[in-house]
Amino acid sequence: MLSAENLASIESEGRRLALAVRQDPGRPVPQYPDWTLADLASHTASIHGRTVLVCRERPVERISAPRLPESMDPIDWYEETLEELLRELRDADPATTVWSFGPEENIGYWERRMVVETGVHRWDGEQAVARNEPLTNLVAAAGLDEFAGTWLPHLGDLETMEVAALDLDRTWVYGQGDPVVRVEGPASDLHLRLMSRPSSIHLPDDWAAAIDSLAPPPKR
């Protein structure tokens, strides 16, 4: 049985993103200057749609994310795919073996990945309509949990860093061996900075350069 708390987060954050998009679909997204909110909805629907396929088909090798169907409104596609995602996850066994981007190759990985993906893009969407609410604690903690396995391998050789979320009284160590540097602050600001988003957190220069060099996702 998947986590009711995680499913509730995906649903709540997903609906909040839909509200932001419907407010002004053509508005630019600060995080992705070439995107509108409609593009953000389409991108998120694509990611949700791949997780739907993972739950249904249980692939053991990488599969492609679906693209916006011809003649379909991106916001309608987003809302339809969000409902499909929630249905599939409610019926899924988290221990089922499937392909993933991280060290855990099971549906439970995708459940947690969708908590983060949906929550961060909710933040992106609300930023576009001038709502400046932080990530939820659940989203931020899930993002900091997954960072070592999902994103750190793409950053190259960096000094080991300890990250401390003072509001959650939790720490994470990214890298091998004892930490050389320590960064602390609210969990939301920590995860947003690690996702190359505006934040109060100041990273060491090598970390900042590596994170900010990651390519943005392509339009879908």
**% the chain with pLDDT above 70:** 97
The verdict on 19 and 122 lying in the same domain is yes
Find the mean pLDDT for residues 68-79.
95
Quickly state the pLDDT bin for 114 (edges 50, 70, 90).
very high
The verdict on 118 and 143 lying in the same domain is no
Predicted local distance difference test score (pLDDT) of residue 15: 98
Give 149-168 pLDDT, tens digit per residue: 999 999 999 999 999 999 99
| Single-letter amino acid, residue 91 | D
C-beta separation of 71 from 52 below 8 A: no
Residue where a domain terminates, one of 128, 151, 172: 128
Give 170-205 pLDDT, tens digit per residue: 999 999 999 999 999 999 999 999 999 999 999 999
Predicted local distance difference test score (pLDDT) of residue 33: 86
Predicted local distance difference test score (pLDDT) of residue 219: 60
The verdict on 143 and 67 lying in the same domain is no
Residue 88, number of CB atoms within 10 A of its CB: 18
d(CA 35, CA 113): 22
Quickly state the pLDDT bin for 2 (edges 50, 70, 90).
confident
Tally of structural domains, the chain = 2
Mean residue pLDDT of the chain comes to 95
The set of residues, in sequence order, having a beta carbon less than 8 Å from that of 196 and lying 6+ positions away, is 211, 212, 214
The residue count of the chain comes to 220
Residue 67, number of CB atoms within 10 A of its CB: 13
Q: In a 3-state reduction of DSSP, which class is residue 202? A: coil
Q: Is residue 218 part of a domain?
A: no
Q: What CATH number does the domain containing 161 carry?
A: 3.30.1050.20
The verdict on 124 and 171 lying in the same domain is no
The verdict on 105 and 12 lying in the same domain is yes
- Burial of 185 from C-beta contacts in 10 A (0-12 / 13-18 / 19+): middle
Quickly state the pLDDT bin for 218 (edges 50, 70, 90).
low
The tokens describing 202, both together, are 């100041």
d(CA 139, CA 10): 9
The verdict on 25 and 115 lying in the same domain is yes
Say yes or no to pLDDT of 220 above 90: no
The set of residues, in sequence order, having a beta carbon less than 8 Å from that of 143 and lying 6+ positions away, is 116, 119, 120, 135, 191, 194, 195
Q: Is residue 200 part of a domain?
A: yes
Q: Is residue 179 part of a domain?
A: yes
Q: Which residue has the tokens 């793409």?
A: 154
- DSSP-derived letter for residue 164 is E
Structural domain boundaries enclosing 162: 137-212
Residue where a domain terminates, one of 93, 128, 163: 128
The verdict on 49 and 106 lying in the same domain is yes
Quickly state the pLDDT bin for 214 (edges 50, 70, 90).
confident
Give 37-47 pLDDT, tens digit per residue: 999 999 999 99
The verdict on 162 and 98 lying in the same domain is no
**% the chain with pLDDT above 90:** 93
The verdict on 120 and 188 lying in the same domain is no
Predicted local distance difference test score (pLDDT) of residue 42: 97
The verdict on 103 and 183 lying in the same domain is no
C-beta separation of 25 from 205 below 8 A: no
Q: In a 3-state reduction of DSSP, which class is residue 173? A: strand
Q: Could you tell me which residues are beta bridge partners of residue 90?
A: none
Nearest to 61 by CA among 96, 30, 100, 89: 100
The verdict on 110 and 173 lying in the same domain is no
Find the mean pLDDT for residues 85-112.
95
Q: What CATH number does the domain containing 111 carry?
A: 1.20.120
Residue where a domain terminates, one of 108, 128, 148: 128
Q: Is residue 24 part of a domain?
A: yes
Find the mean pLDDT for residues 194-219.
89
Find the mean pLDDT for residues 15-23.
98
Q: Is residue 81 part of a domain?
A: yes
The verdict on 105 and 203 lying in the same domain is no
Find the mean pLDDT for residues 120-126.
98
Q: Is residue 220 part of a domain?
A: no
